[in-house]
Structure 1
Amino acid sequence: MSMYTREGTPPDSEMKAACETEKTTSLNPSAATQLPVSTNCLACSEDGRYLGLGHALGLSVWSASSLLCAAEWKQDALEVTSIQMTAMGESAYMLGAVDDMGVARVFAYHREAIHPLSVINTMENINKRSICLTFELSEGGDYAAASISCNGAAWLEVFHLPSEAWLKEMETAQKQDPNSSEDVDMKWSPVAVVIKIKPPKNPAGPLDGPLELFRTTDWFSRLSAQEVDRDAGNTKEKSESPPRCTQHFLWPCGPFPGGSKAKPAGGPVAVSVWWSGSQNLLQYSLHKAPKNKTDVEPVPDVLWPNAKTILCSAVSRCSRFVALGLEGALVCVWDRKSGSPLSVVMVTAADSDFSRMQFVDNCPDIGPDHDADVSQTFPAATVCVLLLCKSGATHTVTAGRGTQTLQRSERPKEGGDIPAVAAPVAFLQSLSLVVQRNGEMFLQDIINRSRVCSLMLPTTHRTATPCVPVYALSTEQQTLYIRGDQDSGCAASSEAGSQLFIFRFGESDIIRRWIVSLPDSPRQLNTPSYETLEDSCNLYLQQRALSVDERNDALTQTWKQLQETAATLQQTRKNCSS
C-alpha cells in the first residue's frame, strides 16, 4: 500500500490506515558493508558494475554486486575529496579525482588494477600553486574540464584525453608483466589542452534578438564596448573576488555556428560556460581548429543572452535543452536545436533565490497537448525542471512552446527540514530523492509533493554529513548507495564506524510501479542535426509561423490587461482630484 491509497479513507479508520501506511511506506537497506576510513565521495559506473570510492590515503574500486574491494591506489598524506567514474572501454573504466590539496588526477581501472595516468595541475612552483576547484569527465572519457584558480586568477581548461592510446598501453603493459599490479617507469600518453577559457574582462549584456546568436564576427567587441560605460562604476568591486565558472559538456544537437559541418561520431562537440555575475551562457566548439596557434583568447561560437544574472544551470540528458536559473526568480530554457528560448517562466514566490536545478526525466506532460501538425514537423518539446531554492522551497517547472506549468512547495518551517539534496531519480517516474539536513531521507512525487517512501537506516546509524551526503545512484542497477555513520547516542556494536548502505529499488514492491527504463547513453537521444546556418534559420522561422496564433493571443491578453490598468489609474486620479 502506498500513500496514494489513503484518499477516501473513512474517518473512523484514519488512524489505523495511517499506522499501516507508515509501516508499508518505509524501505530498509538491502545490504550494508564497512567503508574505508574517511570515505568522502562515491561514484558509480554507467553500467552499474563498479563503485569508485575516494577516501583517506587514496581511492579504491569496488564490485557493486559483491561489495568487495577490487583494487586500490594509495598515497601517504593524501585524501581524495571528489571522484567521478565513466566507462572507457569494454573492460576499462576511467576515474577523475581531486584531493584535499586541489590536485586533479586521472586514473584507469583495468584488469583488477588501478593505473595513475595523468596529473592535471602539477605544482612546479610553490609560489604559483594552482588549485583545481572542479573537475569533470565527459561520458566515455574523451574530454575533461578543470576549473583552476591561481593567485587570484581563475580560468577553465578543457583537455582531450587519449583514451584509445591509454587502452593500448595498458594492454601492452599487462602482456609484458601479467603478474604485476604496479606501473614501473610507465610513460603514458600525455593529455592535450583543447581550449583555455578565461572570464570576460567586461560582463556582456543581452543581445537584441534570437537571430543575433549566430552573428559571431563582431558581437563580442560590441558587447564589451557597451558594458564599459554601463558597468564602469562596478568594475573594481567585481574584480576583488575572482569569478567562478560552471561548465557542461554538450553532445551533437542542432546548429553549431562557426564550426565545421562534419560531426564526430562520438563524444561531446562543445562545452557551455557561464561565469558568476554574468548574464550570458557561452558555447565553445571542441572541434573547431583555431585560426592560429597564438590565439590564447578563444571567441565563443554561440552566445545565449539573458535578461538577469545567472545563478544556476542544468543540461538535459540529450543536451538539447539548457535551463538557467536567473536573478529575479526567472527560469529560461534554451533550445539548442532551434537556437531560441523554449520558455521563460517567472516564479512569483518571494523566497525563490535559486541554488540548484535539474531536469526531470520521464516527467508526465501535464500541460495542454501540442497541435498534431506541429509535432509532425518538430517533435513536441516539453521539459520538466526541478528547482531548489536557498530557503529550502522547491519548485517544479514544466515548460514547452507556448505552455508552462508551475508547482510550488512551501518553505520548510524548521531548519532541519531544509533539503540538502533534491535530485530527480532518472529510473523512477516523477520521483525525486530528498535528503534533509536532519538526515531524514525519502522519495517524493515531484508533481503532487506527496511522500512515496521513507528510506530508513538502522537505528545504530545516521546519514553521514547530511548537509553534503555521500551517495550515488545507479540507473542500471536501480540502486541507491549512501554512507551512514554510527550514531553517537548508540552503544558500540559490531557495525561500528561508517557503513555503505544499499537500497535496491527494483526489489521493492512499493517502488516497482514507478520504475521506467532509459537509454544507456545521451548519444542515443540525439535528435537530427541541422548542418547549416540556413537550415537553422529556416527552422526558427517555421516555428515562429506555427506559433503565430499563440503569440497573437498572448499579445491580445497583455494589451487587454494594460487597458484595464490604465482605466483603473485614470479613475483613481479622477477620484483623487474630486
Structure 2
Amino acid sequence: MPVYIRKHPLEIPPPSEKDWIKKDEEENFFLQDPDQIFDSLPQPFRMINKLVTLVFEQAWEIIEKREALREAQIQKVKPTLYLPTAEFQVMGRANCLAASGQHVFVGLSSGLAVFNTPSCKRICAWESTRLEICAIRASNLGNETHLLVTVDDMGLARLFYFYRDSLLLIKVLNEVEEISKRNTCVEAELSQGGDYAGILLQGSTEAWLEIYRLPKESWLKETDHSQAAAAVSSFRERRLSQASTKSLDLPGEGSAETESPMSANRVETKLSLPVLLLKVRSPKPLTGSTFKSPLEALMKIDDGSVIGLGQNHMIKDYQWEQQDAIFRSTFEKHLERESEPDSKEEKPSHAVFHFLLPSRILQIGPEIKAQPDVPTGISVHWNGSHNLCLYLLTRPSKEKTDAELKPDTVWPCAAPITCSAVTSCSSYMALACEDGMITVWDRCLGFPLAVTALPEGCLSRTIHFLQTSAAPRDQLPRPKVQLLVLCTDGSLHLVTVSGPRESRTVLLADRSEDPDQTISAVAPIPAFPGAVLVFSWDGTVCLTDTATPQTVCHFITPPSHTVASPWQPVFTVDTTNQCLLLQGDEQQQQASLPTQTKGNQSSIFLFYFDSYQSMKVFPAVPEPPPDSLQHLPWDERCDIFLCDRLQRLPDLSQQVPKCWSQLRKHAAALRRESRKK
C-alpha cells in the first residue's frame, strides 16, 4: 500500500486577519467584547468600519451637547418680552437713523426724510433719484435747529440745515466739476455743538482728513431773514388773490381767502459756506534719510518742543538693512517662518478721529479764550499706526491748508491702535491696541489713568464708555471709569478702572458656539447706568445689566416683522425721548400683500424705556457732572485739593512703611552684589 510522505517539514502559516489585535490590548479586547474575535473584517472593510464608528461617535457627542444646551435653555428663566410702543412707516428702505432733539432723520434709498418723534409724523424730505444715503450724523443747535452731514453710496458728503420744518442743502463738501477727480468720502463726523465738521476722503493714492469750521450763528440770522421775506411775500399774494376774487365777483365764492402755493419751505435760501480749517494727510511710510548732514535735518524742523512722527532722521537705507539682517540672524529660531511681507508698505487709508474739548493735553495759550463747550482740538489715529496725533483747531488763518500739517502732540503706543473712544465731556480717552492692551487717559490731568489687558486672544473691535455717578462739587471726582469692549471673536467684556493699579475685567458674554447668537452690535443707554443693548445675528435685542450681569428683557418686533439685517442692524438710541428706534422687515410668509408695497416701505419701531416695568431695576439718572476744576477760582480749587489730600493722608501713611522696607531690601541687595564684585 503506497504511502505519501511529505518531503518538507510542516511550516507555520503566516498570521491571518484574525490576529490583528495587539498584545497589550488583547486582555482589554476580550474583556470588552469576547465575541468580536469571530467577527473581524478583512481590509479595507475594517478601516471603513473604524471611520464610520468614529463619525457616529463624534455626531453623537454633538447631539448630546445640543440636547444639554436645549434643556438648559428650557430650564432657564426666560426674560420678559416687550413689543414696541409706537411705529411709523417710511417710503423706501431705511439705511441709517439719527435722532436729535424731537426729530428723527432717516436715510433712505431715495434721499432723506425727517419725522417728529412724539407724533411719528413726517415733517419734510429731501428726495433725489438714484441716491442712497448710507450714513447720517446729526447735531442739535437749539431752537428746533439741527445740523446734518450725510454720506451716500457714491461717496459724496452733504451738509444739511434743518430749521423750522425746512430742510436746506448747504453744500456738497467733496463736489468737483470733473467726476474723474472726485474723492470718495469714507466717514463724516460733527462736533457735539455743531461748531466743526470733519470728513475722511480717500483718493487713488492717499487719504486725508478735512476739518471745516461751520458759521452756525450766521446761518440762524440768514434763515430768520429768509423766513421773514417768505412771510411778507405770502401775505402779499393773499392780498392780491383777495382783490382779484372781489373784482371778478364770482357767485358762490364771495371773499373767501385762498392759500398761496408759495410756502416758506419753497423759498430759496442761500446760506454761508463752511470754511476749510485743516487738512490732515496720512503719515508717510518711514524710508531711508536723504539728508547729507545733521544740520540739514535740523533745518527741516520748525519747532523742537514736540515729539514728531520720525520723518526727520539720519538713518540710511543700508543701515536699516544691516540692522534687520543682524536681528534676523540672531533671533532666527524665534521668528515665525511665514510668507514674507511685501516690500512695499501700504499707505494708511482709514482713520478714526474725535473732537476734543479744552484740557491740559492741548495747551492753547493764554492769548486765546476757549469756551468750555466748544472743541479746541482733534485726535487722529490711522490704521496700522502706533501714534495718536493731536491737532489744535485754534490755528491762525495765515497757515495754508494745503501745506503738510504737523501734529501739535504725539502719543506713541507700543502696538498699532485698533480703536478708540472719548467721553462726551472729553475727560477720558481710551485707546485699544493690537496686543490686547487698553490705555485710559485722564485728559484733564494729562497722564494715563490705567493700563489694562484683555484676556489672551481677544482683540478689541469697538469701545464704549458707560455712564457713572458724578462726584459732588466740593470733592474731587474719583476716577472710576467703565468701558464696554466688544471683541472680534464676539465676546463682550466690562473693564472697570478705579486707579493706576485698580482695574478689573468681567466677561459679560462669551463667544457663542452657535453662529446665530453671535453679537453684532452693542449700545449703552446713557440715562440708565449699567444698561446695555446687545444685538445678535438671530435678530435678538436684549437689555443687559452690567452690574449683575444678567439679561433684563428682550425687545421684539411684532409677529408680522423681523429685525432688518440683524448682522448689521439699523437702529439709534434717542437720548432726548429715552427710546430705541429699530428698523423691521415684513415677514416673507405674508404673500397676500402686493410686492410693490413690501419693497417701497420700511417700518421703524419705537421702544420707550419709561413704559416698561423692567427698567426700574436700574438706578436713577445720575446728577449732571460738576463744572471742571480748571474753570473754578483758584481759592476754591486749592481748598478742594487740600481737603482731598487730607482725606487720603491715612492711606498714604500706610503706604510709606512698605515703600521704605522695599527700598531697604533693594539697597541691601545692591551692597551684596558690590561686595561680590
TM-score, L = length of structure 1: 0.80
Deviation for aligned residue 1:89: 3.0
**1:43 aligned onto 2:102:** no
SS of the residue corresponding to residue 458 of structure 1 reads: coil
Q: How many residues align?
A: 513
For the 8 Å contact 2:418–2:460, the answer to whether it is kept is yes
SS of the residue corresponding to residue 510 of structure 1 reads: helix
Which residue identity does 1:311 align to in structure 2? Answer: T
Deviation for aligned residue 1:429: 2.1
**1:244 aligned onto 2:350:** yes
Which residue number in structure 1 is paired with residue 148 of structure 2?
95
Which of residues 67, 71, 84 is equivalent to 1:29? Answer: 84
Distance 2:433 2:316 in 1: 22
Tell me the percent identity. 29
Which residue number in structure 1 is paired with residue 458 of structure 2?
352
Distance 2:179 2:208 in 1: 19
Deviation for aligned residue 1:556: 9.2
Which residue number in structure 2 is paired with residue 502 of structure 1?
606
Which residue number in structure 2 is paired with residue 321 of structure 1?
428
Deviation for aligned residue 1:262: 2.1
Q: Is 509-518 or 34-43 further displaced after alignment?
A: 509-518
Deviation for aligned residue 1:159: 0.4
Which of residues 377, 401, 406 is equivalent to 2:505? Answer: 406
- Note the 1:410-559 alignment, pairs <5 A: 410-492=510-592, 497-514=601-618, 516-517=620-621, 526-528=628-630
**Does the C-alpha gap of structure 1 residues 303 and 487 become closer, same or farther in structure 2, counting only changes over 3 Å?**
same
Deviation for aligned residue 1:168: 1.0
CA shift digits 1:56-85 (9 cap, x unpaired): 221011000110101111112211111122
Which of residues 376, 380, 384 is equivalent to 2:482? Answer: 384
Distance 2:658 2:474 in 1: 23
Which residue number in structure 2 is paired with residue 257 of structure 1?
363
SS of the residue corresponding to residue 318 of structure 1 reads: coil
Which of residues 313, 321, 327 is equivalent to 1:225? Answer: 313
Distance 2:485 2:104 in 1: 28
Distance 2:580 2:213 in 1: 31
**Does the C-alpha gap of structure 1 residues 292 and 152 become closer, same or farther in structure 2, counting only changes over 3 Å?**
closer
Distance 2:540 2:314 in 1: 50
Distance 1:154 1:302 in 2: 21
SS of the residue corresponding to residue 131 of structure 2 reads: strand
For the 8 Å contact 2:165–2:265, the answer to whether it is kept is no
For the 8 Å contact 2:201–2:209, the answer to whether it is kept is yes
Distance 2:96 2:86 in 1: 19
CA shift digits 1:514-545 (9 cap, x unpaired): 2643678x9x764525999xx9xxx9xx99x9
**Does the C-alpha gap of structure 1 residues 329 and 554 become closer, same or farther in structure 2, counting only changes over 3 Å?**
farther
Where does structure 1 lack aligned partners over 5 or more consecutive residues? 1-14, 205-214, 366-371, 561-578
Deviation for aligned residue 1:140: 2.1
For the 8 Å contact 1:473–1:481, the answer to whether it is kept is yes
Distance 2:565 2:440 in 1: 33
Distance 1:530 1:301 in 2: 27
**Does the C-alpha gap of structure 1 residues 490 and 243 become closer, same or farther in structure 2, counting only changes over 3 Å?**
same
Which residue number in structure 1 is paired with residue 121 of structure 2?
68
SS of the residue corresponding to residue 358 of structure 2 reads: coil
Deviation for aligned residue 1:113: 1.3
Which residue number in structure 1 is paired with residue 280 of structure 2?
197
SS of the residue corresponding to residue 129 of structure 2 reads: strand
Higher fraction of strand: 1
For the 8 Å contact 2:306–2:408, the answer to whether it is kept is no
For the 8 Å contact 1:41–1:82, the answer to whether it is kept is yes
Deviation for aligned residue 1:318: 1.4
Deviation for aligned residue 1:437: 1.2
CA shift digits 1:156-175 (9 cap, x unpaired): 01100111111111111111
**Does the C-alpha gap of structure 1 residues 463 and 145 become closer, same or farther in structure 2, counting only changes over 3 Å?**
same
For the 8 Å contact 2:92–2:602, the answer to whether it is kept is yes
CA RMSD, Structure 1 to Structure 2 (Å): 3.7
Which residue identity does 2:263 align to in structure 1? Answer: S
For the 8 Å contact 1:318–1:526, the answer to whether it is kept is no
Deviation for aligned residue 1:217: 2.4
Which of residues 408, 411, 415 is equivalent to 1:308? Answer: 415
For the 8 Å contact 1:33–1:499, the answer to whether it is kept is yes
Deviation for aligned residue 1:138: 1.1
Which residue number in structure 1 is paired with residue 171 of structure 2?
118
CA shift digits 1:4-41 (9 cap, x unpaired): xxxxxxxxxxx9x988953x621111111212211111
Which residue number in structure 2 is paired with residue 575 of structure 1?
none
SS of the residue corresponding to residue 576 of structure 2 reads: coil
**Does the C-alpha gap of structure 1 residues 396 and 241 become closer, same or farther in structure 2, counting only changes over 3 Å?**
same
Where does structure 2 lack aligned partners over 5 or more consecutive residues? 1-70, 232-261, 288-302, 325-339, 666-677
Distance 1:551 1:352 in 2: 38
Which residue number in structure 1 is paired with residue 28 of structure 2?
none
**1:108 aligned onto 2:161:** yes
TM-score, L = length of structure 2: 0.69
Q: Is 316-325 or 251-260 further displaced after alignment?
A: 251-260
Which residue identity does 1:474 align to in structure 2? Answer: D
- Note the 1:161-240 alignment, pairs <5 A: 161-178=214-231, 179-182=262-265, 186-202=269-285, 217-220=305-308, 224-225=312-313, 239-240=345-346
**Does the C-alpha gap of structure 1 residues 88 and 247 become closer, same or farther in structure 2, counting only changes over 3 Å?**
same
| Structure of greater Rg | 2
CA shift digits 1:172-203 (9 cap, x unpaired): 11111134345666432111011110112247
Distance 2:158 2:176 in 1: 12
Which residue identity does 2:612 align to in structure 1? Answer: S
Which residue number in structure 2 is paired with residue 576 of structure 1?
none
Distance 1:152 1:555 in 2: 59
**Does the C-alpha gap of structure 1 residues 407 and 231 become closer, same or farther in structure 2, counting only changes over 3 Å?**
farther
Which residue identity does 2:135 align to in structure 1? Answer: S
Q: Is 395-404 or 158-167 further displaced after alignment?
A: 395-404
Distance 1:525 1:238 in 2: 50
CA shift digits 1:58-117 (9 cap, x unpaired): 101100011010111111221111112222231311111111111111111112111111
Distance 1:256 1:550 in 2: 33
For the 8 Å contact 1:27–1:455, the answer to whether it is kept is yes
SS of the residue corresponding to residue 162 of structure 2 reads: strand
